[in-house]
Amino acid sequence: MIGCPSGRPLLAAVAAVSLVTTGCLGVGPSPPATPTATPTASVGTDCPPALTVYALDEDPANLDSVVDYENLSAEKRATFDRARNERVTDFAYDWRDIDVVAYDGAYYRTGVVVC
């Protein structure tokens, strides 16, 4: 009687190929998503960006870029006042668009600094 070869070696080979190609096809658990906070700490540092405000000794070259303190929102005025006296790391992203603020007869440069 002629016997049929066992299908076990073939089944084992298919299973092994499936396990090997699963990783190549991108099937399997995906890495967890990481939310992006704003502002974020810069690579290679352990501190987040900080809003800085300092008085200018002379008038800015481009007066068209000056924002009057009174035109800032109440939240931005509070942030500006804090940044004149301390390191502020919890600020709105749009501070990056404000270069100079006119306040109380003086001009103040604003900037985002990473230590």
Distance separating alpha carbons of residues 27 and 15, to the nearest angstrom = 15
Residue 99, Cα to own-chain centre: how many angstroms?
20
Nearest 5°: phi and psi at 8?
Answer: -65, -45
Structure confidence at residue 79 (pLDDT): 96
pLDDT at 2 > cutoff 50:
yes
Has residue 44 been placed in a domain? Answer: no
Q: Which amino acid is at 109?
A: R
Tabulate helix, strand, coil % of the chain (nearest 5).
Answer: 35, 20, 50
Has residue 77 been placed in a domain? Answer: yes
Has residue 94 been placed in a domain? Answer: yes
Structure confidence at residue 37 (pLDDT): 47
Mean pLDDT of 6-18: 54
* Counted domains in the chain: 1
Q: Which amino acid is at 84?
A: R
Has residue 30 been placed in a domain? Answer: no
Q: pTM of this prediction?
A: 0.59
Has residue 42 been placed in a domain? Answer: no
Has residue 35 been placed in a domain? Answer: no
Structural domain span for residue 71: 50-113
Express each pLDDT in 39-52 by its tens digit. 555 555 678 899 99
Structure confidence at residue 8 (pLDDT): 58
Beta bridge pairs of residue 107: 102
Has residue 1 been placed in a domain? Answer: no
